[in-house]
Amino acid sequence: ETAKLWSTASGECLHTFEGHGALVESAAFSPDGQEVLTTSCDHAAKLWSTASGECLRTFEGHVHIVTSAAFSPDGQDVLTASNDNTVKLWSTASGECLHTFEGHGDSFQSAAFSPD
């Protein structure tokens, strides 16, 4: 239900990201390091500020565990992979689901963007 941001230099916990309703599955940093995206068994992903620890946005629309997420190279979009057999493309600015990728026939454990 929570994720933590730790300083590797001091070992200090910088932030505890609280707000998921179930186990946190994964976390991914934005390309500029200003945000972190967490995925959860609560069927959602959350975007957090690494500076303040505040939840900036919640991405909802999957109907099963969200297993992983990835930022686009420019940080403008994110992909979420789910056990509901879909991958969703979201706008980080608006939180809008831009596209749902279907047809794989099984659950997704991860998703990634091409560097270009």
Tens-digit pLDDT string for the chain (116 aa): 999 999 999 999 999 999 999 999 999 999 999 999 999 999 999 999 999 999 999 999 999 999 999 999 999 999 999 999 999 999 999 999 999 999 877 888 888 999 88
CA-CA distance, 96 to 114, in Å (whole number)? Answer: 21
The reported pLDDT for the residue numbered 110 is: 87
The reported pLDDT for the residue numbered 106 is: 80
Which of 92, 50, 58 is CA-nearest to residue 75?
Answer: 92
| Partners of 6 in the β-ladder | 13
The reported pLDDT for the residue numbered 108 is: 84
